[in-house]
Structure 1
């Protein structure tokens, strides 16, 4: 028995430690990225260019004239959409002239460069998206249904494998994000979009942002381990 109600009392589930570790990792990474981005969002880049101008400059120099740049209404959600070849920047990063704005814009352009060059991990991640969307919605319901139906191992195993797909997706995402950041730093330095001292700040911004993906992947892997420990056996629990 791992935990919950049994007989006349409640028992502590030791696998909750895995959830807590994942939570601490995610909270720590989130605090770091928020702190770092706030710090460098207050530092104006020496050229005084906006994130949108930096993105257009970088994309044009890479010959990616077809990639569009759009401004989002909200102050988050920066991303590159390969379906429409569009870099979408949050309002602050689109219009802002900070080191953060230029760094984030360059990072999203890094994804556009990946797409243009057929970067394999990005293609794999894109192919996994529809499968992962289905798996993430069905994993927990399948496990619970399997438990309710007298520990039906077929349903439980299907649920665990569905959740495993989300972990695989997050692991594939890591090289995609780190590579986009590396490309971004190389290009902002090469094209002089940030000064030499500002490049150091840009690296800190993008490294902090990348760590949120690492923490997310680690948290999901720990949750997968917990599901395997709780439900992966072939035995049935006694009431």
Structure 2
């Protein structure tokens, strides 16, 4: 029984680690050469937005990861994608512009996605507080049951972001393959040999948040293992 449990935990750890590793590998693989195009990811994002009448949407550099912020109406790109001139840079930029288009068109699925992301972020914060409070409650109550209840609630709450991102996959895939890919192909920015790697990058961009959510859940399990020890 113990062997099966350890094997199950090992399999879960592998499945949790693999998506994030795969996303990073795909992105890094196509960042070279860094001067493949005469324009950067930031330049392309600005061009695509202007061509579609979204001059009011800004393009900014950020250290918080590539994303579109609907509150400030900003396409935000990491430094390597904002200034980079690689296949990864222009493809990720097109993906984030795809989200800006969804927002501008009032896509109901995009609106639901934003609500779910914000609620899951709140749930993750609550879970963090619960998990931190477990040792304190255990000492004060001098019995394990209240802490056990908090533990179960905390772990279940930490799973909310993962479920939210899994349900958001259709909107991510839409931004990648129904918006970004056609923009890149129509602009003539992809050669025949670049179409397959571009699709890999777009798939990785769509799975980025899922990989992050799985990683967060894995961190919780690591924390619980340390607590048990």
The answer to whether TM tops 0.5 is: yes
- Normalised by the size of structure 2, how large is the TM-score? 0.74
Residue of structure 2 aligned with 1:151, choices 145, 155, 159: 145
Per chain length, whose mean CA-contact separation is higher, i.e. which structure has more relative contact order (CA < 8 Å, sep 6+)? 1
CA shift at 1:184, angstroms?
0.8
2: CA distance, partners of 1:111 / 1:203: 17
CA shift at 1:99, angstroms?
0.8
Residue of structure 1 aligned with 2:162, choices 160, 167, 171: 167
- Normalised by the size of structure 1, how large is the TM-score? 0.71
Tell me: CA distance 1:160–1:46, structure 2 relative to 1, closer, same or farther (3 Å): closer
> Does structure 1 residue 68 correspond to structure 2 residue 58?
yes
Residue of structure 2 aligned with 1:200, choices 178, 196, 199: 196
2: CA distance, partners of 1:77 / 1:148: 43
2: CA distance, partners of 1:185 / 1:70: 22
1: CA distance, partners of 2:12 / 2:110: 25
User: 2:227 maps to which residue?
Assistant: none
What is the number of residues matched between the two proteins?
A: 213
Q: What SS does the aligned partner of 2:30 have?
A: helix
Structure 1: segments with no counterpart, 5+ residues: 3-11, 227-239
User: 1:34 maps to which residue?
Assistant: 24
2: CA distance, partners of 1:130 / 1:160: 18
1: CA distance, partners of 2:25 / 2:11: 21
Structure 2: segments with no counterpart, 5+ residues: 222-229
Q: Would the aligned equivalents of 1:22 and 1:218 in 2 still touch at CA under 8 Å?
A: no
CA shift at 1:16, angstroms?
5.3
CA shift at 1:57, angstroms?
1.6
Question: What is the RMSD of the two structures over their aligned residues, measured on CA atoms?
Answer: 3.4
166-175 or 88-97: which moved more?
A: 166-175
CA shift at 1:210, angstroms?
3.4
Tell me: CA distance 1:139–1:17, structure 2 relative to 1, closer, same or farther (3 Å): farther
